[in-house]
Amino acid sequence: MDRFEQAPGQFRNFQKDDFEADWIKVAECRFGQVYQVKLKLWREKFALKSFDTALKIIEEVSNIAKLKFKYIMCIYGMCSEATALVMEYMSNGSLNNLLVSHTLMWPKKFQMIHETSLGMNFLHSMKPPLLHLNLKTSNILVDDHLHIKISDFGLIHWEEGMNKTLFIEQLTARGNISYIPPETFTQSPNPPGTTFDVYSFGIVMWEILTQQKPHAGCSVTTVLLQVSQGKRPCVELIPDQRPPECEQMISIMKQCWAQDHTERPQFSVFITASKEYISCIIQLMLNTEDILSMLSKKDFGSFRHSVRREHVYTQFSGQKRLLHYTVASGDPE
Ligand code: ATP
Ligand code: MG
């Protein structure tokens, strides 16, 4: 039987020669490589993430690959020949890189934070919650309309009875020290729960708001010591010229990285609390001079109309991509 004649939704096993010969390397990482490839049959670009080790990881992912949601990465299958996962290709790469290469406007920053929280809320709403344990800006990928998708969930696990040192090694080996909550390093840590990811999300928020790197220039040991003593990235680095609604966001961010994990909000609570800054996205869009100057009265009418009906905004062409706005669905009414 042809490999492509599998049942709909089934995790596919692609062969290397299902792809065009020119594989473009997008990134070389500690655990493998990411390539942009083109699938001959579907005539579309995909990302192929190969792992230098363990096919086991890939097989495990087949279980969660069935998950589909607007803000999480879609996994199409695997290529066991290349020890790789075949995923959606995100043309604007990682948020990590985007934050360095572009200055984002406040509405876009808020929107990205909001979309990330929706994606995480989806993972945590599974029963039992699907923990990411590797949420960081390099695992938030950006499509050509500057919407985000969360990737690489389910690659790190904590299992009952697991050697805790090994678990911590798994986490820190990926250069993730800034995203790991302090309780992970206590002498007898509890198994990680949803509040682990909420802490990481707090750091991601800070990175989006400041467009800087947390604990820049500090060694792993220094970060570990400082974070254990309650030190967090510097809130003063968030630009002073910010919309007033940003204060609410900063206060939620601080709750997300609270030292006591029981004080961190769940994503569902976060999304409800975000009502104010979602309306801020709308306000800012209405106030931003350069946007208004680009809009004809007609555009403005349809723009306002769509705000209420579908939460979808007019997109602008002929300007920098960062002026494209499409507000996430799932906004609080
Ligand atoms: P980790 O293995 O802990 O997730 P990482 O995120 O730094 O570490 P990779 O997941 O291998 O490493 O990704 C490296 C880079 O490859 C990303 O930062 C991004 O720029 C690019 N990349 C990964 N997946 C895709 C994709 N689906 N589409 C486009 N680019 C991607
Ligand atoms: Mg990754």
Residue from 23, 24, 25, 26 whose mutation best tests the ligand 1 pocket (most atoms within 8 A of CB) = 26
User: Which atom of ligand 1 lies nearest, measured to the CA of 152?
Assistant: 4
Q: How far is CA 54 from CA 64, 75, 209, 250, 320, in A?
A: 17, 18, 37, 40, 42
**pLDDT for 69:** 94
Lookup: tokens for 174:
């990926």
Residue from 152, 169, 171, 176 whose mutation best tests the ligand 1 pocket (most atoms within 8 A of CB) = 152
What tens digit of pLDDT does each residue of 103-161 get?
Answer: 888 888 888 998 999 999 999 999 999 999 999 999 999 998 889 999 998 778 777 77
**pLDDT for 5:** 52
Instruction: Confirm or reject: Cβ of 174 under 6 Å from ligand 1.
Output: yes
Instruction: Confirm or reject: Cβ of 69 under 6 Å from ligand 1.
Output: no
How far, in Å, is the centroid of ligand 2 from the Cα of 4? 27
Least distant ligand from the CA of 138: 1
**pLDDT for 333:** 36
* Of 191, 177, 147, 154, residue with least CA distance to 312: 147
**pLDDT for 285:** 52
8 A C-beta contact, residue 311 and residue 327: yes
> The pTM is what?
0.83
Q: Which residue lies with its CA nearest to atom 5 of ligand 1?
A: 138
How far, in Å, is the centroid of ligand 1 from the Cα of 137? 10
Lookup: tokens for 169:
């090694």
Instruction: Confirm or reject: Cβ of 152 under 6 Å from ligand 1.
Output: yes
- Strand partners of residue 149: 141
Q: Which ipTM value was assigned to this complex?
A: 0.98
**pLDDT for 277:** 60
Least distant ligand from the CA of 85: 1
Q: Which residue lies with its CA nearest to atom 29 of ligand 1?
A: 90
Beta strand residue intervals within the chain, DSSP E: 12-13, 24-29, 32-39, 44-51, 75-79, 84-88, 140-142, 148-150
Please calculate the CA angle 302-102-321 and round it to the nearest 5 degrees: 30
**pLDDT for 266:** 94
How far, in Å, is the centroid of ligand 1 from the Cα of 245? 32
**pLDDT for 166:** 80
**pLDDT for 325:** 38
Gyration radius from the chain CA atoms? 21
* Of 184, 202, 201, 203, residue with least CA distance to 192: 184
Instruction: Confirm or reject: Cβ of 87 under 6 Å from ligand 1.
Output: yes
Least distant ligand from the CA of 32: 1
Residue 225's Cα: distance from chain center in Å?
Answer: 27
Least distant ligand from the CA of 90: 1
E strand or H helix that includes residue 168: helix 164-172
- Strand partners of residue 39: 19, 44
**pLDDT for 23:** 95
Provide block-wise average pLDDT over 10 residues at a time, the chain (333 residues).
55 91 90 92 93 69 82 91 91 94 86 92 94 95 92 81 79 86 84 95 97 92 94 95 86 95 92 65 49 40 34 34 37 38
**pLDDT for 188:** 73
What tens digit of pLDDT does each residue of 273-291 get?
Answer: 666 666 555 555 544 444 4
